[in-house]
Amino acid sequence: MTGGSAPQPVPPPPRRAGADRLIALFLFGVVAFNPPLLRVFGAGDTLFGLPLLYVYALGVWGGVIALSAVLLERRGR
């Protein structure tokens, strides 16, 4: 025995924050389009004459696309 210390484990490389944000955005989309939540908006109410379910679905869908575009553009820099 030479009295040396045991080798230290190598820490994993740090993950980029952009990947974490994309995962969070995906999970938000999964929750937002979950059938129990869609039933809340499918109650038959309208907004400006449009069914609230359609307004909700298209709004969330467009928001997820816009946020993913922003995150991916920022990630490319």
Map tokens 């980029």 to a residue.
16
pLDDT given for residue 55 in this prediction: 93
DSSP single-letter state for residue 43: S
What pLDDT score was predicted for residue 2?
63
Give every residue of the chain whose pLDDT is below 70, as ranges. Answer: 1-4, 12-15, 17, 75-77
In three-state secondary structure terms, 47 is strand
Give dist(CA 32, CA 25) in Å, integer.
10
Could you tell me if 50 and 65 are in contact, meaning their C-beta atoms sit under 8 angstroms apart?
A: no
Q: Where are the domains of the chain?
A: 17-76
Looking at residue 59, its pLDDT comes to: 95
Three-state DSSP at 46 gives strand
- Rg over alpha carbons for the chain, rounded to the nearest Å, is 22
Q: What is the pTM of this model?
A: 0.70
pLDDT at residue number 74: 78
pLDDT of the residue at 12: 67
Q: Which residue has the tokens 């553009």?
A: 73
